[in-house]
Chain A
């Protein structure tokens, strides 16, 4: 088992507890607990199974289960892209295991990167989204709950499946996908009409950073990716859940808490996103300095979108305020001292 992946499953468990704290009505909390528990068990199984084939099959089970829960979108719309992701990953296995010319390994690299993007729901395979859908049955479950552990499993297994040349092609694919998602996600999050959609695009932008981290094959890249995934699971996801009520009622506030949340979402110091960005820039500079320049320019795009999302949180009260405070405190702790997190993942 990958220690990084195990850590992400633990983060998902904590995120479920925080989600239960910030969820509004009691009935929805019960449904959230059941769905979140099933999702957590499935994610744990993906991490725990001994072979990649089994992980793909568990992923397909999870996709089927996620598609049958009550939602606004049709069953086919919900199953389509995760199933296609499993198919692409299966094709990648065929190419990686077959004996033949080296170009087959490169096809495998492309299949692994594309399959990962399709399962998670980032560009170019963005899942359809309905703002009125519960978070547990929306694409956010793939982006922020199941996806991070799946990404770590796919990247780790890719290292075993691909040779050095194809491994470089895989890294290049991840970097390309990462840069596209960074720019598209942050610009769309800033300019899109509805606030719910803006939240969804902001997850994609964060995924761009994580994919770039995985693409930078140095240890700093892996560290950055882990911290970005932490900030998705235990930062952006709980804040998104806490903001849903205010977004639905179209409440916009500009209190200090909103600015604080905006800073956390933008990856400012001292939050976790800042240390991830520093590690990412350091890794990119070691690998190829113009890449660091592009990443630094891309990171500036987070600011306007984060200010918008921070304002959409409203003024949290009671249990909500407690949940938001816990999330911000966790992110500050990891931002100031990420070493225990990285040591637990053996990075």
Chain B
């Protein structure tokens, strides 16, 4: 029951990251995803690993709350394809995690499949730095949680490292890329004997 709720929370959190353009929505998304992955990982990661993942989600959410586009901006106009993506990936992950595969850890499989898929899609589809960093944080938590897929992991390191990446990624200061104007272009003109274009 707890693992099922964790899987749902992880999917909901990753879906919020996909559907939100504002810092509050993104923060809530990474918080829920972290909590969900921690719950489904409890049996394989142990208390320390699960707590680390949850804490990673909390710190990432706190960092996102202080930077990024303001407001919630959940499901802004034109976000229907994103909503379809969230529903479709949830159904596909549920089918693969519970129907196609068998054995213990169905909730963990579902959570990892759904969050990795959604976070990867969000990172690919967005040009906003805060959004891509939040997607990277969710991805780090999911990859950390995936360490328990082969049974109980002998190392706590994947959980701790996944949590640390998620926590740090929301606090990364980003500089705007320098695009030189035409007058600032430092390139000299072609020299004698030079060619440009195709040979």
Contacts of B133 in A (CB 8 A): 75, 79
Question: When the two chains form the complex, which single residue of A68, A91, A248 contacts B174, counting CB atoms closer than 8 Å?
Answer: A68
Distance in angstroms between the alpha carbons of A98 and B129 in the assembled complex:
34
A60-B143, A83-B136, A250-B191 as given contacts; A76 in contact with B197, CB under 8 Å = no
Query: Number of A residues contacting the other chain (C-beta, 8 Å)?
Result: 52
A100 and B102 form a contact (CB under 8 A): yes
Contacts of B136 in A (CB 8 A): 60, 63-64, 79, 83
Of B18-26, B60-68, B79-87, B120-128, which stretch is located at the interface? B120-128
Contacts of B149 in A (CB 8 A): 93-94, 97-98
Question: When the two chains form the complex, which single residue of B103, B179, B198 contacts A193, counting CB atoms closer than 8 Å?
Answer: B198
A101-B100, A249-B191, A252-B193 as given contacts; A72 in contact with B143, CB under 8 Å = no
A73-B177, A76-B126, A94-B149 as given contacts; A86 in contact with B196, CB under 8 Å = no
Candidate in B109, B195, B199 with the most chain A CB atoms within 10 angstroms: B199
A80-B123, A98-B149 as given contacts; A60 in contact with B140, CB under 8 Å = yes
Distance in angstroms between the alpha carbons of A49 and B197 in the assembled complex:
45
B117 and A87 form a contact (CB under 8 A): yes
Distance in angstroms between the alpha carbons of A308 and B195 in the assembled complex:
11
Q: Is A61 an interface residue when CB atoms closer than 8 A count as contact?
A: yes
Contacts of A253 in B (CB 8 A): 193
A87 and B129 form a contact (CB under 8 A): no
Contacts of B55 in A (CB 8 A): none
A76-B127, A79-B132, A104-B101 as given contacts; A60 in contact with B165, CB under 8 Å = yes
Distance in angstroms between the alpha carbons of A49 and B147 in the assembled complex:
13
Of B4-12, B33-41, B70-78, B154-162, which stretch is located at the interface? B154-162
A71 and B116 form a contact (CB under 8 A): no
Contacts of A165 in B (CB 8 A): none
Q: Is B90 an interface residue when CB atoms closer than 8 A count as contact?
A: no
B132 and A76 form a contact (CB under 8 A): yes
A68 and B139 form a contact (CB under 8 A): no
A56 and B155 form a contact (CB under 8 A): no
B198 and A192 form a contact (CB under 8 A): yes
Least Cβ–Cβ distance between B49 and chain A, in angstroms: 12
Distance in angstroms between the alpha carbons of A244 and B198 in the assembled complex:
18
B175 and A94 form a contact (CB under 8 A): no
Least Cβ–Cβ distance between B190 and chain A, in angstroms: 5
Residue of B nearest to A254 (CB): B193
Distance in angstroms between the alpha carbons of A54 and B109 in the assembled complex:
18
A57 and B158 form a contact (CB under 8 A): yes
In the complex, chain A residues 201-235 whose Cβ is within 8 Å of any chain B Cβ: none
Q: Which secondary structure characterizes the binding site on chain B?
A: helix
Q: Is A180 an interface residue when CB atoms closer than 8 A count as contact?
A: no
Q: Which secondary structure characterizes the binding site on chain A?
A: helix
Q: Is B144 an interface residue when CB atoms closer than 8 A count as contact?
A: yes
A250 and B196 form a contact (CB under 8 A): yes
Query: Number of B residues contacting the other chain (C-beta, 8 Å)?
Result: 59
B174 and A75 form a contact (CB under 8 A): yes
Contacts of A252 in B (CB 8 A): 193-195
Q: Is B51 an interface residue when CB atoms closer than 8 A count as contact?
A: no
Least Cβ–Cβ distance between B88 and chain A, in angstroms: 15
Contacts of A98 in B (CB 8 A): 101, 103, 109, 149
Q: Is A157 an interface residue when CB atoms closer than 8 A count as contact?
A: no
Distance in angstroms between the alpha carbons of A190 and B131 in the assembled complex:
38
Least Cβ–Cβ distance between A74 and chain B, in angstroms: 5
B155 and A87 form a contact (CB under 8 A): no
A57 and B129 form a contact (CB under 8 A): no
Question: When the two chains form the complex, which single residue of B129, B158, B165, B188 contacts A51, counting CB atoms closer than 8 Å?
Answer: B158
Q: Is A251 an interface residue when CB atoms closer than 8 A count as contact?
A: yes
B190 and A250 form a contact (CB under 8 A): yes
Contacts of B27 in A (CB 8 A): none
Contacts of A251 in B (CB 8 A): 191, 193-194
Contacts of A87 in B (CB 8 A): 116-117, 119-120, 123, 139
Question: When the two chains form the complex, which single residue of A54, A64, A74 contacts B172, counting CB atoms closer than 8 Å?
Answer: A64
A99 and B143 form a contact (CB under 8 A): no
Contacts of A72 in B (CB 8 A): 177-179
Question: When the two chains form the complex, which single residue of B124, B129, B157 contacts A74, counting CB atoms closer than 8 Å?
Answer: B129
18 sample A-B contacts, Cβ–Cβ < 8 Å, listed by A number: A50-B155, A60-B165, A61-B165, A68-B174, A72-B177, A76-B123, A80-B132, A86-B139, A87-B120, A90-B116, A94-B113, A94-B116, A98-B101, A192-B198, A193-B198, A249-B188, A250-B195, A251-B193
- 9 tightest A-B CB contacts, nearest first: A87-B120, A98-B101, A100-B101, A99-B103, A53-B147, A250-B194, A53-B158, A97-B149, A76-B132
8 extra A-B contacts, CB within 8 A, seeds A64-B136, A90-B116, A104-B101:
A54-B158, A68-B174, A76-B128, A83-B139, A90-B112, A90-B143, A94-B116, A99-B103
